[in-house]
Amino acid sequence: MTREEFCALPPGIALGLIYDVSQRIAALPVPPTVRPPKFDGRLSRKGGYCWMSEMDLGSLRYWFARKSEPGKPEFAEKDAKTAKEIGYWIAWRTADPAAAWSGERNREPARGAPPSRDPQLHQWEPKAAAPAPSSVDDDLASYGFE
């Protein structure tokens, strides 16, 4: 078989031939498979946020490096947590760089868009207004005490 004939074979057949001719592969243990993260993560960006599941491997590595380097001390804990989360996404994207993710976002089943260098930017939801502080007299009056 020539190189051109081998390269024209479907991937499944070509990999089967490689396995059959290589005795060393048969002695190797099966490598562990990397599963996709169950929950999607938000990465704050200028003007909103993007989903980590929709970022390509290069973007994930860039943001991992940014969040891992020392910055302002008040953000160090949050940045370390974000870098750890991005690390899970890097492991999965390394194993499967083009796969579309599916899992949970905000406790809802979701499916992410295919990975991109420029994922869609989403606007943050407005935070609920804090309840006005009430006095003890108002609380007592609501229970029937004067």
Task: Examine the domain organization and report whether 48 and 21 are in the same domain.
Answer: no
| Cα distance between residue 77 and residue 97, in whole Å | 29
Task: Examine the domain organization and report whether 93 and 51 are in the same domain.
Answer: yes
Q: Identify the pLDDT of residue 111.
A: 94
Per the structure, the count of domains in the chain is: 2
Tell me the pLDDT tens digit for each residue of 13-64: 888 888 888 877 778 888 788 899 999 999 999 989 999 999 999 999 999 9
Task: Examine the domain organization and report whether 64 and 99 are in the same domain.
Answer: yes
Task: Examine the domain organization and report whether 6 and 50 are in the same domain.
Answer: no
Tell me the pLDDT tens digit for each residue of 83-128: 999 999 999 999 889 999 999 998 999 999 999 999 999 998 887 7
Question: How many of the other CB atoms lie within 10 Å of CB of 50?
Answer: 20
Task: Examine the domain organization and report whether 22 and 72 are in the same domain.
Answer: no
Task: Examine the domain organization and report whether 47 and 85 are in the same domain.
Answer: yes
Confidence of residue 131 (pLDDT cuts 50, 70, 90): low
| Cα distance between residue 103 and residue 105, in whole Å | 7
Tell me the pLDDT tens digit for each residue of 70-81: 888 899 999 999
**Cα dist. 92→44, 67, 122 in Å?**
21, 18, 23
For residue 3, give its domain range: 1-30
Task: Examine the domain organization and report whether 15 and 61 are in the same domain.
Answer: no
Is 18 among the domain residues? yes
